[in-house]
């Protein structure tokens, strides 16, 4: 789908990578391709592959019946961020990857674009699709207004709970607002989806960093149960000599500036090196191409097969002109005031490390210098251990919150958790799934009189 990015600059940065259908007819034409498989006995493969369990054949059937409102309702009933997920989900890895049309050697149904069609239909017409349950007087505090927190809050309000969401930032959406590539989703439709959640009676308290003000003790006095949806923290700190030079960035502040601030302030140069092999590194590289860099390269210390990034992202980045250096690690950055070069070293794979993957080991004497004027470190995010350790009895595993896999209850029974703070960083739809599961876990815990 993506082609050589032309023109460059803000226009390219915000131009949608996967555009919506241009007409109702186009959507109907695509919907016709669906075999509407699955049934009561066994869900369709696309439904089984969706962490939020959206009933894909049903919503496509409703589009075919021209009942687009019902179609949108079907999606939002399973996923309160159905419009956002229609834009940002890695569909190749999930629903579309499981489409039975693959077996016939045909292109899968464009489920993401159809989901966008139906959800846009409902949102653009201002239709309501969420209903508050009969109030039950119990109160739950949700910490973090990212996808996990929003989904948990909505599901609890649907069950009649009084819900207050505490968010450290001045805006809602977590990484959807601050980090997801602007050519996938800039801001909309998340604010519209959050507005529906607020109309269920959910109270949002923005600019409140729980742990500092209010404290966890205060929240424990206010609420019978608490949900932790605080995501992950800053970029992992890896220091190299010279990384305080001008033109060297951490990935998250870099993306936030180009998405919510002023891309021109980044002063991106012509030759950009991105260090890392995950989806964030791929996003940064593709964003740098759109910002106008002439030569964008990704340096990864393992091989292509071991890259955690989604295959489709790698394919699209290549098509857009991004170069990949495999088995290469930085040693030091060179320059006087601004970075001018990156000294690298070749690696080879050794014995397996703690993750079970072969450990990359430096090959002595293989140093070489790549001339660059911008370097972005995209190595991953750190857990928010400093906040989590304030909660009494909360067990962590490598900084991630340990939970019961079915109820998402933590080792402190009043706390439940979901999203990136339990999985280390996954997808929006996975966070939505966790928010739903935890809401059911909280409901069970409080209904059984244990809260």
Ligand X SMILES: Cc1cc2nc3c(=O)[nH]c(=O)nc-3n(C[C@H](O)[C@H](O)[C@H](O)COP(=O)(O)OP(=O)(O)OC[C@H]3O[C@@H](n4cnc5c(N)ncnc54)[C@H](O)[C@@H]3O)c2cc1C
Distance CA 73, CA 125 (A): 13
- CB atoms near residue 134 (< 10 Å): 6
By CB under 6 A, which span of 106-114, 163-171, 267-275, 315-323 interacts with ligand X? 163-171
Task: Name which of 177 and 374 has its Cβ closer to ligand X.
Answer: 177
Q: Is residue 280 a contact partner of residue 308, using CB atoms and an 8 Å limit?
A: no
Q: What is the dihedral of CA 364, 365, 367, 368, to 10 degrees?
A: -150
Report the nearest approach of ligand X to the CB of residue 258 (Å): 11
DSSP output for 115-162: HHHHHHHHHHTT-----PPPP---EEEEE--SHHHHHHHHHHHHTT-E
Helix/strand/coil (H/E/C) assignment for every residue in 406-443: CCCEECCCCEEECCHHHHCCCCHHHHHHHHHHHHHHHH
SS3 340: strand
Beta strands, E only, 15-102: none
Task: Name which of 224 and 381 has its Cβ closer to ligand X.
Answer: 381
By CB under 6 A, which span of 9-17, 223-231, 242-250, 317-325 interacts with ligand X? 223-231
- Residue from 51, 108, 174, 189 touching ligand X (CB under 6 A): that is 174
- Residue from 283, 295, 320, 340 touching ligand X (CB under 6 A): that is 283
- Binding to ligand X (CB under 6 A) within 243-262 occurs at 255
- Residue from 38, 141, 149, 330 touching ligand X (CB under 6 A): that is 149
Closest among 4, 82, 11 to 50, alpha carbons compared: 82
Distance CA 279, CA 283 (A): 6
Q: Is residue 79 a contact partner of residue 152, using CB atoms and an 8 Å limit?
A: no
DSSP output for 250-317: EHHHHHHHHHHS-GGGG---SEEEEE-SSHHHHHHHHHHHHHT-SEEEEE-SS-GGG--S-HHHHHHH
Task: Name which of 164 and 374 has its Cβ closer to ligand X.
Answer: 164
Task: Name which of 279 and 412 has its Cβ closer to ligand X.
Answer: 279
Task: Name which of 64 and 209 has its Cβ closer to ligand X.
Answer: 209
Report the nearest approach of ligand X to the CB of residue 376 (Å): 11
Q: Is residue 358 a contact partner of residue 349, using CB atoms and an 8 Å limit?
A: yes
Task: Name which of 180 and 345 has its Cβ closer to ligand X.
Answer: 180
- Residue from 94, 142, 175, 328 touching ligand X (CB under 6 A): that is 175
Task: Name which of 74 and 164 has its Cβ closer to ligand X.
Answer: 164
Report the nearest approach of ligand X to the CB of residue 149 (Å): 6
- Residue from 272, 431, 442, 446 touching ligand X (CB under 6 A): that is 431
Task: Name which of 71 and 164 has its Cβ closer to ligand X.
Answer: 164
Report the nearest approach of ligand X to the CB of residue 280 (Å): 4
Q: How many residues bind ligand X (CB under 6 A)?
A: 39
Report the nearest approach of ligand X to the CB of residue 380 (Å): 9
- Residue from 420, 433, 436, 443 touching ligand X (CB under 6 A): that is 420
Which tokens in the block code for residue 216? 């966890």
Q: Would you count residue 49 as binding ligand X (CB under 6 A)?
A: no
Task: Name which of 27 and 89 has its Cβ closer to ligand X.
Answer: 89
Task: Name which of 210 and 408 has its Cβ closer to ligand X.
Answer: 210
Q: Would you count residue 101 as binding ligand X (CB under 6 A)?
A: no
Phi, psi of 222 (to 5 degrees): -80, -30
- Residue from 81, 297, 298, 428 touching ligand X (CB under 6 A): that is 428
The set of residues, in sequence order, having a beta carbon less than 8 Å from that of 428 and lying 6+ positions away, is 81, 84, 85, 88, 89, 147, 176, 180
Report the nearest approach of ligand X to the CB of residue 104 (Å): 28
Q: Would you count residue 189 as binding ligand X (CB under 6 A)?
A: no
- Residue from 59, 76, 129, 166 touching ligand X (CB under 6 A): that is 166
Task: Name which of 263 and 425 has its Cβ closer to ligand X.
Answer: 425
Q: Estimate the crossing angle of helix 111-124 against helix 24-31, to 10 degrees.
A: 140
Which tokens in the block code for residue 437? 């599961």
- Binding to ligand X (CB under 6 A) within 379-408 occurs at 384, 387
Which chain residues interact with ligand X by CB under 6 A? Answer: 88-89, 143-149, 166-169, 174-176, 179-180, 184, 209-211, 229-231, 255, 279-280, 283, 384, 387, 419-420, 425-429, 431
């Amino acid at each position: 789908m993506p082609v050589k990015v032309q023109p460059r600059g803000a226009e390219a940065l915000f131009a949608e990578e996967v555009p919506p259908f241009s007409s109702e007819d186009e959507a109907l034409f695509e919907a016709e391709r669906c075999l509407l498989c699955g049934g009561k006995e066994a869900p369709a493969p696309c439904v089984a592959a969706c962490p939020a369990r959206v009933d894909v054949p049903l919503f496509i059937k409703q589009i075919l019946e021209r009942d687009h409102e019902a179609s949108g309702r079907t999606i939002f009933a399973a996923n309160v961020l159905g419009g956002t997920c229609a834009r940002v989900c890695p569909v190749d890895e999930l629903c579309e990857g499981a489409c039975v049309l693959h077996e016939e050697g045909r292109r899968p149904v464009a489920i993401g674009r159809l989901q966008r069609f139906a959800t846009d239909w409902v949102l653009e017409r201002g239709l309501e699709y969420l209903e508050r349950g009969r109030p039950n007087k119990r109160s739950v505090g949700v910490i973090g207004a990212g996808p996990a927190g929003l989904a948990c809050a909505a599901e609890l309000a649907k069950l009649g709970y009084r819900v207050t969401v505490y968010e450290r930032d001045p805006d809602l959406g977590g990484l959807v607002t601050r980090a997801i590539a602007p050519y996938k989703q800039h801001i909309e439709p998340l604010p519209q989806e959050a507005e529906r959640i607020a109309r269920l009676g959910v109270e949002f308290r923005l600019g409140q960093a729980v742990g500092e003000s209010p404290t966890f003790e205060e929240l424990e006095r206010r609420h019978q149960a608490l949900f932790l949806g605080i995501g992950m923290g800053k970029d992992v700190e890896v220091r190299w000599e010279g990384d305080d030079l001008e033109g060297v960035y951490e990935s998250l502040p870099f993306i936030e500036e180009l998405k919510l601030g002023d891309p021109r302030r980044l002063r991106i140069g012509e030759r950009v090196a991105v260090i890392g092999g995950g989806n964030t590194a791929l996003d940064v590289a593709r964003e740098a191409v759109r910002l106008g860099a002439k030569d964008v390269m990704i340096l990864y210390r393992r091989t292509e097969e071991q890259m955690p990034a989604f295959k489709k992202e790698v394919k699209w980045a290549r098509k857009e002109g991004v170069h990949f250096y495999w088995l290469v690690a930085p040693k030091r950055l060179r320059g006087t005031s601004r970075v001018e070069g990156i000294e690298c070293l070749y690696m080879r794979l050794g014995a397996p490390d703690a993750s079970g993957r072969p450990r990359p080991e430096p090959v002595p004497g293989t140093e070489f210098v790549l001339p660059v004027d911008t370097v972005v470190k995209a190595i991953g995010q750190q857990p928010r251990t400093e906040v989590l350790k304030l909660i009494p009895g909360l067990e962590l595993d490598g900084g991630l919150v340990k939970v019961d896999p079915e109820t998402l209850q933590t080792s402190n029974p009043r706390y439940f958790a979901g999203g990136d703070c339990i999985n280390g960083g996954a997808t929006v739809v996975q966070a939505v799934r966790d928010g739903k599961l935890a809401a059911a876990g909280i409901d069970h815990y409080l209904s059984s009189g244990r809260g």
